Structure 1
């Protein structure tokens, strides 16, 4: 008897919907490019912070320091420890009713809801238990297969890193 496995698909951009280059991030990983649609409609302050840091080159070379199979991949800490952030002030929570589906990007934070700064995570699977408790700021529209290949661990023995992260409007 053959086993049948069902996998949740990543959010997919509708063919008729054109991405806004100013609200699209190209996240280059060792295995390929991940395209992320930003959600300023849900979290304008978080999107502004991510765009600012991206344009400064802050994320280039930063490791994925916490990657839990079947849950999420976390990055954005320049120290690689999960304890660091940018020099910019923390951001007040912008919680919404958006669902943490596979491919959703959310801001990492401490127990203080208003402590998000530069760290973020990409959902590897559905995480509805996070709904309304963390800020959703984007969604993967292509390249989720490359996210799935990020080395797992807390921290990974040989962590993968962001090769380059840029706003599509700035792409050369």
Structure 2
């Protein structure tokens, strides 16, 4: 009986791992293509839940990459002020109508393809904005919540239009997350 119970437990764990949540992001602009991200529910459950809820609501569809710093990262996710087709001058200053989240820091290193939550000076202020790394940035380790990792399409991320304005602000027409879909 123990062997059956042990086997069932292993199958349950494997079944959970196979049903991992992810995002599929269709990028348009200077960069065009699909980015697939595995979300780390076990590392940042509250952040992953909020991101997936926003994606299922369509809140990320049409949101621009408003801050893109060469050799560092591409930031997006301002569902309040970052919608393409409108005035995106305040992109990066907003969030969503959902509550800010308490930090869920981990020991995962910030390197190319890692997805982290953007926030203000307060560690407990992440809401909807996130960034995707171009390269490693050890100074972020343990300071920002890691929510995922790019599994396909890092070349698409690497081609996102760079910002030439203050603090990496994208001048002119920024690249956009045309459609963001939650995957299982």
Which residues of structure 2 form unaligned runs of 5+? 1-16, 83-90
State the distance in 2 between where 1:20 and 1:57 align: 25
Kindly report the root-mean-square deviation, in angstroms, between the aligned alpha carbons of the 2 structures: 1.2
The partner residue of 1:97 within 84, 98, 107 is 107
The SS at the match of 2:63 is coil
In the TM superposition, 1:149-168 aligns within 5 A as: 149-153=159-163, 154-157=168-171, 158-168=173-183
* TM value normalised by structure 1: 0.85
The Cα of 1:22 is off from its aligned counterpart by: 5.0
Residue in structure 2 matched with residue 8 of structure 1 by the alignment: none
Residue in structure 2 matched with residue 25 of structure 1 by the alignment: 23
Residue in structure 2 matched with residue 129 of structure 1 by the alignment: 139
1:66 aligns with 2:103: no
Runs ≥4 residues deviating over 2 A: 19-22
Residue in structure 2 matched with residue 10 of structure 1 by the alignment: none
State the distance in 2 between where 1:20 and 1:107 align: 24
Question: Which of the two has higher C-alpha Rg?
Answer: 2
The SS at the match of 2:74 is strand
1:76 aligns with 2:63: no
The SS at the match of 2:68 is strand
Q: Which has the higher mean CA deviation after the structures are superposed, 32-41 or 152-161?
A: 152-161
* TM value normalised by structure 2: 0.79
The partner residue of 2:119 within 98, 106, 109 is 109
Deviation per CA, 1:64-118, whole angstroms, max 9, x where unpaired? Answer: 0000000000001131321100000000000011111100000000000000000
User: Do the aligned partners of 1:25 and 1:168 also contact (CA within 8 Å) in 2?
Assistant: yes
The Cα of 1:168 is off from its aligned counterpart by: 1.7
Q: Which has the higher helix share?
A: 2
Deviation per CA, 1:133-167, whole angstroms, max 9, x where unpaired? Answer: 00000000010000111111132122001010011
